[in-house]
Amino acid sequence: MVNLAQSDGLLAVISGPSGVGKSTVLSRLFQFQDEFWFSVSVATRPARPSETEGSDYFFVDEKSFFAMEKKGELLEWAQVHGFYYGTPRRAIEEQLAGGKTVVVEVDVQGAQKIRQLVDLGEIPKEKAVFIFLIPPSVDILALRLRRRKTEDTETMNFRLRAALAELQVMEKYDYIVVNDRVDNAVEKIRAIIRAEKERVQLT
């Protein structure tokens, strides 16, 4: 149980397909340290030369990863591209209890697992917001698909099928942010979070 009942904390879950410029948007968002606390995941993949332990990820081996999982120390975890990634639970609980907005960047499986925690009542519904970042091209495809409905799905090419799959995933999120320009996307995310925090305060 994530104990949030008495706090103003908000859990902002951000996902997006690769190639959407997600890391650029997140690093820009990172400049607003006073507004957000960024969760650092544990990962079993090797660190890239540009990455710093404890800042980009906590890099661990599989044995340590599953030891954490077994002890219930991960809020969620998933296998992505052959490696394991997980969100440490305790630091997030502490930050949320202190009223912070916690940003977690997870893949769609991770977001689904956190959504399940909301559905199970472990995280109060009004204290989590799910944001999906998409490139403008996918948005245009998605709009076309919406207009066309699905009667000729059989004849759609691979890109449209991929966009449809993406669209189905998108529907599970509360907000879709189109990454047309990094500054715009960052401002939209901040505005969503500000509005959601207001909702928390008013309930």
Using CA atoms of 108, 120, 128, 90 in order, give the dihedral in degrees to the nearest 10: -90
Segment near ligand 5GP (CB under 6 A); pick from 78-86, 128-136, 138-146, 186-194: 78-86
Which class for 179: exposed (0-12), middle (13-18), buried (19 or more C-beta within 10 A)? buried
Q: Where are the alpha helices (DSSP H) in 6-50?
A: 22-29
Site string for ligand 5GP, 34-73 (x = CB under 6 A): -------x---x----------------------------
Interatomic CA distance for residues 37 and 162, integer angstroms:
33
Give the Å distances, CA to CA, from 80 to 61, 63, 108.
15, 17, 10
Between 145 and 166, CB nearer to ligand 5GP = 166
Between 50 and 203, CB nearer to ligand 5GP = 50
Site string for ligand 5GP, 1-40 (x = CB under 6 A): ----------------------------------------
**Residues contributing to the site for ligand 5GP (CB under 6 A):** 41, 45, 76, 78, 80, 85-87, 105-107, 109-110
